[in-house]
Amino acid sequence: MFSGRRNGTAGGPYTTITDNVTVTSYTDDSLTNGTTYYYVVSAINASGESANSNEASTTPQAPALGGRALLELTMTNGAVKEYDLSATDVNTFLNWYDARSNGTGLTYIALSKAYLNGPFVNRKEYVSFDKIFSFEIMEY
């Protein structure tokens, strides 16, 4: 069995995240992308608990998107809007959405429309954060 601990600062003190478990792997899914976490583990048997292991660290990152993706927004009024975006534009949307969720940044985002009806060179739709109910990203 083992006990696992983590902290946001190298060297501890550590908070126990799992204790007396008999698994060979553990997924810590309560992390924030871009934040470094430090881990130690100890073994537990009938004689007691070992000292902590050497410290290991990781900094989770959001998965990188490949080429393009469809961003589908479901609005608070039930309307569904779809945008064909580059991976860069999708990441811009995700960063904006995360910032707004934390109360910072603009209250809206400008999303480019892939089709151009008329003599337009560029076409953007401005979407308000508080009008988005949910979204889905479909990479292709």
* 1-55 residue pLDDT tens: 778 888 888 988 998 888 877 767 778 877 888 889 999 998 888 898 899 899 9
Phi, psi values for residue 99, rounded to 5°: -60, -45
The domain ranges of the chain are 2-58, 68-139
Q: Which CATH class is domain 68-139?
A: mainly beta
* 65-123 residue pLDDT tens: 667 899 999 999 999 999 999 888 998 999 999 999 989 989 999 998 876 667 777 88
120: which residues sit within 8 A by CB, 6+ positions away?
none
* 109-134 residue pLDDT tens: 999 887 666 777 788 999 999 999 99
Strand partners for 137: 71
118: which residues sit within 8 A by CB, 6+ positions away?
none
What is the fold of 2-58?
Immunoglobulin-like (2.60.40)
- Three-class DSSP labels, the chain: CEEEEEECCCCCCCEEEEEEECCCCCCCCCCCCCCCEEEEEEEEECCEECCCCCCEEECCCCCCCCCEEEEEEEECCCCEEEEEEEHHHHHHHHHHHHHHHCCCCCCEEEEECCCCCCCCCCCEEEEEHHHEEEEEEEEC
Q: What pLDDT score was predicted for residue 5?
A: 87
88: which residues sit within 8 A by CB, 6+ positions away?
none
pLDDT(62) > 80? no
Indicate whether this model's pTM tops 0.95: no
